[in-house]
Structure 1
Amino acid sequence: MTIGAQVKGCYSAIKSVEASLQLLTAKTNEQEQQIKLTEAERMITEIKNDLRHQVIQLSKEEPQYQ
């Protein structure tokens, strides 16, 4: 498995985590929990965005694996 494939797999997993956090935030009634979940979601979104840039960069470097 190439590094590009591994990063793409990680990107997919992070997107899933982000979606789960969004659902949990929507279902939680406690404000303190919503705040913590929203903060976690923000951090995950930043990581997802960084990984997306890595996927794009690796796609350029490893075109044979497209």
Structure 2
Amino acid sequence: MTVSSDVKTCVASLKSAQASLEQFALSTQNEQAKQLFTQAASSTQQIVDQVEQRVQQLESEEPQYKGL
């Protein structure tokens, strides 16, 4: 696997984790847990944004990785 595909796999995994956290926040009745899951999902989104920037950088540096 290339670095680009590894990073894209990482992004997909992070998005999956974020979706799970959002689902947990929606399904719990405990306000403290809801807040915790919401904050964790928000933090995960910030990480996704940063890693996606890295994907764009990789694709601009190595055009053959675009779309993989």
- How far residue 60 of structure 1 moved from its aligned partner, in angstroms, is 0.8
- How far residue 56 of structure 1 moved from its aligned partner, in angstroms, is 0.7
CA RMSD, Structure 1 to Structure 2 (Å) = 0.9
Unmatched 5+ stretches in structure 1 = none
Aligned partner of 1:54 in structure 2 is: 54
Aligned partner of 1:31 in structure 2 is: 31
1 CA distance for matches of 2:4 and 2:61? 9
Unmatched 5+ stretches in structure 2 = none
> TM-score when scaled to structure 2?
0.90
> TM-score when scaled to structure 1?
0.93
Q: Is the 8 A contact 1:24 1:37 kept in 2?
A: yes
Task: State the identity %.
Answer: 33
Aligned partner of 2:5 in structure 1 is: 5
Length, aligned pairs only? 66
Q: Is the 8 A contact 1:15 1:48 kept in 2?
A: yes
Poorly superposed stretches of 4+, deviation over 2 Å: none
- How far residue 65 of structure 1 moved from its aligned partner, in angstroms, is 2.5
